Structure formats: C-alpha cells, structure tokens
Structure 1
C-alpha cells in the first residue's frame, strides 16, 4: 500500500507532518512525499530520504496565481500518480489541496483526502477590500470547491473553517469532513521548563500583517514606555506574501529597541524556554502550532478570539483571549501578567495539562488514520 503526501513547502514535511509520516510508516505503508525545491543532493531531500521516504520534486509555486504554472503542476502531479499508483493521496495547504485533489481524481487514486490547515491571505477579507482582493478570494473559493468535490474526506483544524466551507458551499454537502485538533505537538519533545525571573513575552510567526505582528509591536511600545525592563522577543522571517511585513518596519522596531528580533530559528524551544508568556495576535489560524509548542512547555498564552486561536485558550484559565487587531487590548492582557506575576506559572501549568490531554500529536494522528481507514 502506498501513500502520497503533497506539500507546498518542503520544510513543513518534518516540522509539521513528521509524526504523521512515522504513523503511516508504522502502519506498513510505503510513504511518498511530493514538494517543490527538492532536487537531487538537496539537504532537506537527504533528511527525508534518511527517514525511508520516496521523494518527488514537483514544479509547484507556493505563491502567485499563474494559470500556466498551476496547470503545469497539475499535469506533473497526474503523471506522477499514474507512475506511482498510490492507494492514498493527501495534500495540505491551498495549492497541494486543490491541484493534488484534481490530479488524484484524474489519475483515479482510490482514496483522496485533503487537510485544510488554515485559510491564508485570500480569506483574510474585510468590507473595505479592493476589487483585486475580492476577485482573488472568489477565485480561490471556486478552485477549492472544484478540488474538494473530488475528495473522499476533508480534514479541518478548527470548526470555524469547516463551517465557513459549508456555509459558502465550498465543500459540497455530499463530501464528509472531520475536525482534528490541529497538527498536534509531541509533548515528549516539548517539555515544561522553569520560567525566567524577569517578564519576557515572545511571538513566533512568519512576519505577516495577519499574524498580528504590528499589533504586537504596538503593544510592546506601550508597555515599554512605562516598563523598559520588560523584554519582547520576535522569532520569524519575512515571507513571500502580499501581506508581508516590510524590512523597514522590522528595522524600526529593532532600532528603537521595541522588539528583540531573533531571526528564523530551526529549533524554537530555547526561545520558548526563555519567555514567560507566549503571544500570538493572529487574525485567523488553522490551529497555531507555535501556541501548542508553548503550551506543552508550560507557558501561559495570549491569543485572539479568532478561528483556530480561540480553541487553544480557555480564557482566564491558561491565558487570555483578546479581540483581533486591537493593540490596546493586547497591551492590557500583557499588563495583567506584569501586575500579577504568579499568573504566568499557574496558567502555564494548565497549558501543559491541555496540551497533554487535547493536543498530543499521537492522539491527533490516530484520529486521522482511523478516519482514512488505515487503522
């Protein structure tokens, strides 16, 4: 039995799907992975091959909407599936879901699944959006609908995304769906650590506007105006995305010492261990993996009352929920941890409990394999 997993970003295969891949292998499946930027001799390709995976480099452009390029990718995936003859195929993130599902249907792969890990830039809409943004959203919704109609089941990482897809008929009534608790977290690898003596807030994210990076910087500036001893760290990188933070903005925050920028980290555990409270002011998520990692390490969390984020925090129990796009509300929540220093330890203990009970990656993957008929 063969399983083909399609990704838009090769690093995510081990970072976010490593435990799922191991579970598939443990179920005696031959696992193939397809992703762009995996030529022969590439370091990531070698790491994947060392895991016993069969690697396929594909011409997929993660960003951009070129019909010619996307058609080329779909045809490439179709030819790949005709050659490999997988029994199962699953894509995650927008283009692998859409074009992987279509190619799997054309290639007559028996079992086709999709994993919607978040809705991305195209769905971050407001009434004030321009014509181009609205057109992009309409196009993506139509393509999603076209692809998902060809799947056996669709996995979502929060109930709001599932409801949105049903409400707007992106997911047809006849196609089953299942909500899972995000990508999960390995609670054995992310274990609790002692809190630092001084207050220290941390955000880990791609440097995009819709991750709430600007609100984080604004709230940090408010707090530091009266408490210059408080540290605000930022981990991440400027992504190829229309909503990306500009380099000049990042330079201004670091130059004014509003934020302590740590760059992109291969291992975020030391950064989480150094913080006392984790912050993610995102506008919308699937289920934010960084929040789960921080929870597993015993950190209180401030995040938004937004789809995907609100599921991770019991307000007042393991952290605080704040409105989307509100730097003032974010600063108020941060101030509560400064006024009541014992909160961070108490809420952090509850975070660890929730991570173990709800978000253990092995529990999440067991549900997915059962729903796919593999276990």
Structure 2
C-alpha cells in the first residue's frame, strides 16, 4: 500500500458524551501516524478527557448545544471554529452531525482545506416522509445543507445508508456530481460487545433510545401494553435520556413511562452491556436512522431485533433465508410491533437462533475495524 504522509486531522462534533463511544476506535487509528485535533462541546466526563490526553489528541472545547435552535449560540460556534481552523490548518476536516456538517463544511471550503469529509450519520425525522411539523425548521435545514454541500473538488460526503443519500438527491440538495460514499454506520466493537446467551425462560424486551417521538417511544409503550395484557410474565425495559429537544416526548407520556407499568424505565445507563445481557429481544421502532448504534451493539451480544422498515433501521436486519436475525415492521404501527413481540413469546427458541444470526451479520458487515478502514480510505489517511 502506498505510504501517505502524516496529516493533521480536525474532527468536529456536537456532543462529547458519545465521542469515544462512537468514534473512539477511529480516533485511535487516526492518531497512530497522524495528529488528531477535536473541536467539541465541553467535555464533562473526566474519563473521556483523560483518554484523549493519553492518546495525544489535542482538544478545543466550545459551548454548542446541538439539539437547540439558537442563532447566537450558532454564531459563537462558527466564530470559534473559524479560529481553530486558522490555527490548526488541518489537512483533513471531518465534521459529523448536522450543525458541524453545515457550518463546518462552509468554513472548510472558505479556508481552502484540501480534504473535506462531512459525515451525515442520519437525516432525522425532519426528512421523514409525512412529517408535517416544524416546517420552517425543515425548510431552513434543507437550504443550509444545499448551500453547505455545494459540489467542490475537495468535498467527499459520507452517509450511513443509501436512503439518506438518495433522499438528498431527490430534494436536489446533492447531485451525481458529488463524491458520495456509503459506510455501514459507526460499526460496532466486537471485542467490547461480546456474545451472551439470552434468557428465554423470562422474556424481556429492551429499547435503548433518547426519549424523542421519532424513535418510536409511544409505539413501544403501546405495544408493551398489548403484550402485557396477554402475557403478564413478559418484561419491558427502556434506557435513554429525557432531555430538551425539539422532538422530545410529551410530559404525559414520560409520566406514564416512569410509572413503571408496563415499562421499567432505567434512565441513563453509562454501560449498556449488562442490561443487554439481561434482555432477550431488543426493539427500536424508529422512523429514521443513520444506522442505529443500539441495534448493532445488541446484535454483537447475540440479541434478536425488531425494528422498522425505515431508512437506516432496515440495514440491520438480514432477510436472507436461513440467516434472519429479526423482523422489520411498518413505521408508527404498535400493533405490528406487538405481533412480532408475540412471535418471540410463542417461539422462545427462536430468540437464540435469531440472536446468533445477528452476531454473524454484525461480524460480516458492521465490525468497527472494517468500517474504520473504509473511512480512512475515504479520508486518504494512512493506516496499518
């Protein structure tokens, strides 16, 4: 393989909480023969700060809130990022998630960075067919993306699924002139999330998600009520933050969930592995994703899955005969979700079979090492 000179790589994100969880192995690989710089909202976890220091990564912090709409906050973010770009003079600019992609890509073009690689990890509910809410926000988002992603010889755009790329083409945000790459999500670390045989005597369904409408929280709640009425022994758990977001679930639904019936709400969990290990089937009735990380982690631990036949989600279910690892259901259909839950209640041995098939699928398609190698090739970064 041709040796590529060491590079200065600037990563821009909208949250420090998942920086190492989602990009840790990629950052490690980048830092081996290069210098990585990170522009991130304030790091509140000392373990994250310490690990980045150990790796030799240079960190610049800001006060961006990626979930909130604030013109003043966004302008401060843009100005701070411009200063960092001028100081670092990166060879490779790698922003991911919406605001870093929109603002960062524009600045990177203005500053004439030679390799600009924005990654859209998912378009979110704003781009879901049938969404009639927040029309102004949706329109502004599309216009900003179109302006930011205007074709440029230095620009390479990464998507986590083909549907997102096609959606932006259909909306004339991007075109065939663009250099577009599809990778299999963020990948999953198969050395960290390891197989644990599921308990099929006490069937437990688990959902891991932020508590926003587009993740299908209400559908999970309603399906759980249906199944609980027929199978009182079934258990349902939910992991996830309830924070301020334009699409957060209603207070009424949150109160129902925290009542403990029929769902046991566990709130924020730092390490989900023990909860996945104590579950039987993992559920995510999301309207749209990049590629859902919670499903990949669950597959790596040998869990059967139920998710929606929607962008990003459908990538995680192998429909090849004899290799099925779960079910796809229509979006916003709690009855369909309950029906597939009932299948596992009545066919408990299939929980194990589907889980093993999911682990094999994760090894074949979603291994973080395979995904990261693809990413580094796109960025033209040396790796061994």
User: Above 0.5 in TM-score?
Assistant: yes
Map of 2:318 onto structure 1: 314
Alpha-carbon distance in 1 for matches of 2:63, 2:175: 29
Q: CA deviation at 1:247?
A: 4.1
Residues 1:16 and 2:19 aligned together: no
Q: CA deviation at 1:125?
A: 5.1
Q: CA deviation at 1:239?
A: 2.5
| SS of alignment partner, residue 176 of structure 2 | coil
Q: CA deviation at 1:29?
A: 1.0
Map of 1:299 onto structure 2: 303
Q: Which stretch shows the higher mean deviation, 305-314 or 100-109? A: 100-109
Instruction: Give the alignment partner of residue 218 of structure 1, picking from 217, 222, 229.
Output: 222
Residues 1:157 and 2:163 aligned together: no
Residues 1:123 and 2:127 aligned together: yes
Residues 1:3 and 2:9 aligned together: yes
Alpha-carbon distance in 1 for matches of 2:55, 2:333: 44
TM-align CA RMSD: 1.7
Map of 2:352 onto structure 1: 345
Alpha-carbon distance in 1 for matches of 2:260, 2:148: 47
Q: How many residues align?
A: 370
Map of 1:141 onto structure 2: 142
Map of 1:178 onto structure 2: 181
Alpha-carbon distance in 2 for matches of 1:44, 1:169: 39
TM-score (norm 2): 0.92
Runs of 4+ in 1 over 4 A off after TM superposition: none
Alpha-carbon distance in 2 for matches of 1:361, 1:43: 21
Alpha-carbon distance in 2 for matches of 1:301, 1:340: 14
Q: CA deviation at 1:42?
A: 5.7
| SS of alignment partner, residue 261 of structure 2 | coil
Q: Which has the higher contact order (CA 8 A, sep 6+)?
A: 2
Superposed CA deviations along residues 249-307 of structure 1, whole A, max 9, x for unmatched, are: 23323425210111111100001100111100000000000100000101110000000
Alpha-carbon distance in 1 for matches of 2:38, 2:26: 12
Does structure 2 conserve the Cα–Cα contact (< 8 Å) formed by 1:234 and 1:262? yes
Instruction: Give the alignment partner of residue 282 of structure 2, picking from 278, 281, 294.
Output: 278
Does structure 2 conserve the Cα–Cα contact (< 8 Å) formed by 1:180 and 1:368? yes
Instruction: Give the alignment partner of residue 41 of structure 2, picking from 36, 39, 45.
Output: 36
Residues 1:75 and 2:79 aligned together: yes
Q: CA deviation at 1:71?
A: 2.6
Superposed CA deviations along residues 212-258 of structure 1, whole A, max 9, x for unmatched, are: 11100100000101211100000001132121123442332342521
Map of 2:198 onto structure 1: 195
Alpha-carbon distance in 2 for matches of 1:176, 1:220: 44
Superposed CA deviations along residues 75-123 of structure 1, whole A, max 9, x for unmatched, are: 2211111111111111110001011111111222221110000112432
Alpha-carbon distance in 2 for matches of 1:59, 1:104: 20
Residues 1:62 and 2:66 aligned together: yes
Instruction: Give the alignment partner of residue 377 of structure 2, picking from 360, 370, 373.
Output: 370
Does structure 2 conserve the Cα–Cα contact (< 8 Å) formed by 1:91 and 1:115? yes
Q: CA deviation at 1:23?
A: 1.3
Does structure 2 conserve the Cα–Cα contact (< 8 Å) formed by 1:204 and 1:236? yes
| SS of alignment partner, residue 17 of structure 1 | helix
| SS of alignment partner, residue 314 of structure 2 | coil
Alpha-carbon distance in 2 for matches of 1:147, 1:12: 25
Alpha-carbon distance in 2 for matches of 1:259, 1:102: 44
**In structure 2, do the counterparts of structure 1 residues 31 and 245 end up closer, same or farther at CA, with 3 Å as the change threshold?**
same
Does structure 2 conserve the Cα–Cα contact (< 8 Å) formed by 1:38 and 1:56? no
Q: Which stretch shows the higher mean deviation, 241-250 or 280-289? A: 241-250
Spell out the pairing of 1:221-232 with structure 2 (5 A cutoff).
221-232=225-236
| SS of alignment partner, residue 311 of structure 1 | helix
Does structure 1 conserve the Cα–Cα contact (< 8 Å) formed by 2:40 and 2:60? yes
Alpha-carbon distance in 1 for matches of 2:224, 2:287: 18
Alpha-carbon distance in 2 for matches of 1:321, 1:120: 19
Does structure 1 conserve the Cα–Cα contact (< 8 Å) formed by 2:23 and 2:186? yes
